[in-house]
Amino acid sequence: MRIFLDANILVAVLNKEYPVFTYAARILSLADKPRYKIYTSPICLAIAFYFSEKKSGRKAAKEKIKTLVSHIGIAETGEDEVLQTISNRKSSDFENGLEYYAALASKCDVIITEDVTDYFFADIDVQTSNGFFEKYLKSNL
């Protein structure tokens, strides 16, 4: 299964923000299992770095991002994703459009975000961290 993590999931993990951290950290730990491939985008990483730096300082934030990207894939966000976002009339939020098309380009099966309604236009599954855990992982424990 290919999973795309939105910035708010990364921020919750890097800053240990409860209650999301409980589920988001478990989902991120799937990166070490061969059945799962976890992705995010450079934009999500930049947002996560910003909030991590605010809480932990620049040096710690860089180390956290370095550790994170050693375990997950980085989805492409290039010209195609920009043009698809611009041409999608349903996508009113530019950043979320870029994330969506990056997830599609990486052939992700699901986007995990705490702002599910931001992806109302998505043709792939969109779940909160808790929703993903309940739908895909709880029965496998």
CATH classification for the domain delimited by 2-140, as one of 1.10.760.10, 3.40.50.1010, 3.40.50.300, 2.60.40.1930: 3.40.50.1010
Q: What are the sequence ranges of the domains in the chain?
A: 2-140
What does 107-128 look like in DSSP terms, one character per residue? Answer: T-SEEE-S-GGGGTT-SSEEE-
For 31, phi then psi, to 5°, come to -60, -25
Strand (E) or helix (H) holding 21: helix 20-28
pTM of structure: 0.93
Compute φ and ψ for 2, nearest 5 degrees. Answer: -105, 125
Judged on CB neighbours under 10 Å (0-12, 13-18, 19+), 81 is: buried
Residue among 17, 26, 16, 51 nearest 5 (CA): 26
Contact status, residue 121 vs residue 91, Cβ threshold 8 Å:
yes
Percentage, residues of the chain above pLDDT 70: 98
**Across the strands, what pairs with 112?**
5, 127
Residues 88 and 102: their CA atoms lie apart, in Å, by: 14
Q: What is the residue type of 118?
A: D
pLDDT digits (tens, 9 = 90+) for 45-91: 999 999 999 999 999 999 999 999 999 999 988 898 999 889 888 87
Q: Using DSSP, how many helices (H) and how many strands (E) does the chain show?
A: 7, 5
Q: What's the CA angle centered on 119, arms 39 and 92, to 5 degrees?
A: 115
Q: How far is CA 31 from the centre of its chain?
A: 12
Residue 108 confidence (pLDDT): 97
